[in-house]
Amino acid sequence: MNFARIAARMAVGAVATALATTAVAVPAAQATSKPTPLGTTSLAQVLTRDSSGLDRNSRDFDVLTAAVLAVLEAKPNSPVKVLTDGTVALTAFIPTDAAFQQLVREITQARKLPSESAAFTAVAGLGIDTVESVLLYHVVPGATIDRRTAVRADGTDLTTALGSSVEVDVRTYLYFFRQVRLVDADTDDRDARVVSYDVNKGNRQIAHAVDRVLRPIDLP
Taking CA atoms, 113 is separated from 26, 30, 102, 191, in Å, by 37, 35, 6, 19
Please report whether residue 106 resides in a domain.
yes
Please report whether residue 167 resides in a domain.
no
Longest pairwise C-alpha distance within the chain: 49
Helix, strand or coil for residue 183?
strand
Please report whether residue 23 resides in a domain.
no
Q: Which residue range forms the structural domain that includes residue 141?
A: 3-17+38-146+197-210
80: nearest Cα among 48, 43, 52: 43
Please report whether residue 68 resides in a domain.
yes
What is the spatial distance between Cα 98 and Cα 115, in angstroms, rounded to a whole number? 9
pLDDT of residue 33: 52
pLDDT of residue 151: 96
Please report whether residue 218 resides in a domain.
no
How far is C-alpha 117 from the geometric centre of its chain's CA atoms?
19
Burial 33-61 (b: 16+ CB within 10 A, else e): eeeeebeeebbbebbeeeeeebeeebebb
Please report whether residue 31 resides in a domain.
no
What is the spatial distance between Cα 23 and Cα 89, in angstroms, rounded to a whole number? 11
Taking CA atoms, 10 is separated from 22, 41, 122, 147, in Å, by 24, 30, 14, 29
Quote the number of domains for the chain.
1
pLDDT of residue 219: 80
Q: pTM of the prediction?
A: 0.86
Q: What is the mean pLDDT of each run of 10 residues along the chain (220 residues)?
A: 55 41 41 72 97 94 98 98 98 98 94 96 97 98 96 97 98 90 94 98 98 91
How many beta carbons lie within 10 A of that of residue 73, not counting itself?
10
pLDDT of residue 16: 36
At 173, which amino acid appears?
Y
Please report whether residue 24 resides in a domain.
no
Please report whether residue 187 resides in a domain.
no
